[in-house]
A and B are shown apart, each in its own frame.
Chain A
Amino acid sequence: MISLNSGQYTYRIRGDIESVEEQLTRLYPDSLNHEFAVADFDIEIQQTSLLRTLLRPQVTLNIEGHKPFNPIHPSKLLPSIEWAMNWCVSAYDHTKLLIHCSVAVNNGKAILFPGKSGSGKSTLSAYLGLNGWHLYSDEMAIINLDTGYVEAVFRPASLKNESIEIIKPFVQASEHYMSCTTKGTHKGDIAHVRTMSKDVYDTLEPCKIAAVLFLNFDKKQRFNAYEIDKSIGLAKVISNGFNYSVTGEAAFSILVSIVNQATILEVSYSEMADIKELIAELVL
């Protein structure tokens, strides 16, 4: 059994954790131990069946009595644990507004990157996290419903397929770490990258949201960024909400004030360098 603290939430992971423990320890330094702690979420690694244990072993994740993911081979466990950790938050924490996006911060100002899978948001935010920015979250913005500020979690970024090789050269400093790659998950090859040390994470404070960028990655397209109408921007942010319908009125009013103050852009790009210049201006 391990207790894993993501800065915001405490997870208990139990069952046969041996195959992932070493990797988790590297992804979450100074955040993981074998002591008991009252946990926000309980994740149990279970064997699926008698015969399979002998012939073709499979494990499944039991999260507080739910099994939202398909069983997988024990060697493919690491990404599933990361997904399960995201699932817990989106299913159970309605004290915050949760928006499906990655969040990068510089100069005390946050930029949200909502976007479909394939938009390059994870690649971009991992790149930023490894190059002087702070990666507040790779999967969801955790927004305080009273202040509208976005809060940081100590979680790695998740990289898929060719993004892994793109990002690898930037993993240089001692506070960076890239996990081993898990091949052949239902999302392809997956690796996770830690972009900061726990000490740095501990200095991070909730931040005002300065901009929301809807990304479209297209190799054939020229760089193009244009501001979109606030009301359309609001609707697009809401459509990325994990728990917007649950948090209701409070979520609506805080999003209205966020969208009114932030720059809302639609961005098409094929080179990360183009985006870098644009976002540097947004957090001046």
Chain B
Amino acid sequence: MTPSGISKALFLATLTQQKSITELEPKEADSLLRAAIAAHMHGVLANTVNQRLSLLLPLPLSRHCASIHTFSFAQKNQVAAAAKLLSEQLSSAGIPVLLLKGAAYIVGSKPNAQGRLISDIDILVQREALTTVENALQKNGWRAKPLNDYDEKYYREWSHELPPYIHSESGVTLDIHHNLIPLSSGKTINIAQIDATKVWVANNLYIPSDAYLILHSAIHLLLNDDTEKGLRDCFDLHSLIQGYLASGSVDSLRAIFIEANCEAEFSILIHLLNRIFKTQYSELLSTGVQRLSWHDRVLVSSLYKTIFPRTDYLRHNKSALARQHVYIHGHLSKMPLLLFIQHICYKGYRSAVKRLLGETFFKSLPPKK
């Protein structure tokens, strides 16, 4: 028996607190919980529940909310500890630690930090400093995750980050970026400018300015073939942008996108957020944002269909065509057409084998030396 699930509209309405969870039928509340976990957003769900409300909820729901509060608190301490350790380890090599994404939100106490779950720590370093950084990390208990030859080549030649490092004691995963976007994309992010405008949080520890946090999150959402955590990215962006606009202007934010050759992405982003969060973007749309081309309108619509998690607990959620569209768009934004064709041939072969012989077919191969 397949569950009936809830509509995307109801899912969004409860996460944005336009509708209280206590008004939901038990089946709807259950689907909401399942969908929120699948979207990596049960932390956001828990934020909508205070102590008084939690008494009115079914036990599984209130327990998950209480649990994620505890987890979130512990994660905050652990991220802070890991960031401090990194900043000390890299300080002797003369490398400042510039946190990105989730770790930056948490350490910088950004408005979306509460309940934000992260799986690894991301940092940004100058490309020329990569060897120095890798040496310093290896001296301090960090080990590069073993990859197959193709993935290693992908990371080293075309990607904007190194293969992930794992700390041998704490198990923390570290992603080292030297850019915000793959080198093959043709976009030009001014890394020196991100570095020059970075914000100090502690000794040798920094986060990007709010505008660059927004740009990076937007790039992660829009120039990506994988929108598995797309909705969570949208919630991050919504809260970062609302925070930014409280004191900054839309023009200064757009200027950052234009500088990165991402003006179209800025418009796409605002139109997408408008579909999710409605009224709060209507003023922006009428003043500061371009009309979309025919293709970009279709893209916004495809994105909207694919940012929701693939789960039986959300209705109308099997849009294969939209997923293909976002997949191809994401890849083509990251790499030229010829490279894309090579890449999908290789990935296509692997995926065909997996479909025929099972998910773990490649995992059972002995690691290559």
Chain A residues within CB distance 8 Å of chain B = 1, 9-10, 14, 36, 38-40, 42, 44, 48-52, 58, 60, 64-65, 67, 70-71, 92-95, 245-248
Contact = CB atoms under 8 A, between A and B. Distances in A.
Given A36-B26, A38-B29, A49-B355, A65 B71 contact: no
Contact of B358 (A10, A52, A65, A246): A52
B357 A92 contact: no
A248 B30 contact: no
B58 interface: yes
Nearest to B70: A94
A95 B357 contact: no
Given A51-B356, A64-B34, A38 B71 contact: no
A48 B29 contact: no
16 contacts: A10-B60, A14-B1, A36-B26, A38-B33, A38-B59, A39-B60, A44-B312, A50-B355, A58-B358, A64-B37, A71-B359, A92-B67, A95-B63, A95-B66, A245-B78, A246-B71
Contacts, number: 80
Interface in B23-46: 26-27, 29-30, 33-34, 37-38
Given A38-B29, A39-B60, A95-B63, A246 B74 contact: yes
Contacts of B360: 70-71
Q: How large is the interface on B (under 10, 10 to 19, 20 to 34, 35 or more residues)?
A: 35 or more
Contacts of B26: 36, 38
A31 B354 CA distance: 38
Contacts of A48: 358-359
A16 to B, nearest CB: 11
A94 B34 contact: no
A70 to B, nearest CB: 6
A52 B356 CA distance: 7
B358 A49 contact: yes
A95 B74 CA distance: 12
B36 to A, nearest CB: 10
Nearest to B312: A44
A40 B3 CA distance: 15
B77 interface: yes
A93 B63 contact: yes
Given A36-B26, A42-B34, A65-B37, A95 B67 contact: yes
Nearest to A64: B37
A154 B64 CA distance: 20
Given A1-B1, A40-B60, A42-B34, A52 B357 contact: yes
Contacts of B307: none
